[in-house]
Amino acid sequence: MATYVTSDAHGHLRALDRALELAAPGADDIVYVLGDMVDRGPDPVGVMRLVRGLRNARVLMGNHEHMMLSTLATGDQVDLLTWEMNGGSATAAGLDACPHAEYVDLMDWVANLPLADAVRAGGRTYLLAHAGFDALELRAYLATAGFGGEGGYGGVPADLLARALAAQDAENLLWIRGDFWGVPTGLVGRDGAGPVAISGHTPTVLLGRYADLMCGGVLDEGGRALMVEVGASWDTGGVADRVDIDCSAAAGAPAGRVGVLRLDDRRVFYADIEEGE
């Protein structure tokens, strides 16, 4: 059984479909989707339909799903304007075209999505959240369970890490940027052991504004966005403690693409967004 993770398709159904086809998860494999299925691109509802139909999918909420739900719940004009300014028009149009029963079913599904999870794959535990988390707060939570200090965090069970993430402020899990990408998590020790964080939310083409210790460039030779590892240093045994998997689909062509990361061997599958998609 393999574990895959993707994020921030932002309405680009064709690119997400191609990326998943390239990754080719099997019937027993798990696919994590770290939110921001909606807004920006041409077919947000199609992305939600595709993701919901994936076998063994585990879907987390992103800030754009949260914004959508808040706007639809309140009907507030300021909320609506904010949503539209952040690419919500395509989502609103798609939802308007939905049969009522499907609309209600989709929104109920999205409203009940969790905000974070932790999973073990390829001999390491991964912390999954749309935007990131408050690392100091998470380490304090783990300290109450007896982890940290000289013992490090290599042996923390995934279920305890999931509970630690669930205790975080939703605002951080959905929206954090600089305080996450610019500061080491402190969870990977000098022996290289410890959980690694996987998040989206911050397009990698903008990551240099927020992150120190980026492990490589944000674009390939063709000018397409890449997933980027962050935080490898002597203090982490050369292991990156964070990975940004938002391949800038929100920007569309020519730089944007959708990526799928297989955690077991860290192989990445990219599908470029073409003009008109």
Write the secondary structure of 112-172 as one string of H (helix), E (strand) and C (coil): CCCCEEEEEECCEEEEEECCCCCHHHHHHHHHCCCCCHHHCCCCCCHHHHHHHHHCCCHHH
Per-residue confidence in pLDDT tens, the chain, 277 aa: 999 999 999 999 999 999 999 999 999 999 999 999 999 999 999 999 999 999 999 999 999 999 999 999 988 898 889 999 999 999 999 999 999 999 999 999 999 999 999 999 999 999 999 999 999 999 999 999 999 988 899 999 999 999 999 999 999 999 999 999 999 999 999 999 999 999 999 999 999 999 989 999 999 999 999 999 999 999 999 999 999 999 999 999 999 999 999 999 999 999 999 998 8
The CATH number fitting domain 3-272, selected from 3.60.21.10, 3.20.20.100, 1.50.10.20, 3.40.50.970: 3.60.21.10
Helix-, strand-, coil-residue percentages of the chain, each rounded to 5 = 40, 15, 45
List the chain domain ranges: 3-272
Residue 233, judged by CB atoms within 10 A of its CB (0-12, 13-18, 19+), counts as middle
* SS3 readout for 91-124: HHHHHHCCCHHHHHHHHHHHHCCCCEEEEEECCE
CB 8 within 8 A of CB 41: no
Which residues does residue 22 pair with via DSSP β-bridges, in sequence order? none
Q: What angle do CA 217, 208, 5 make, to 5 degrees?
A: 65
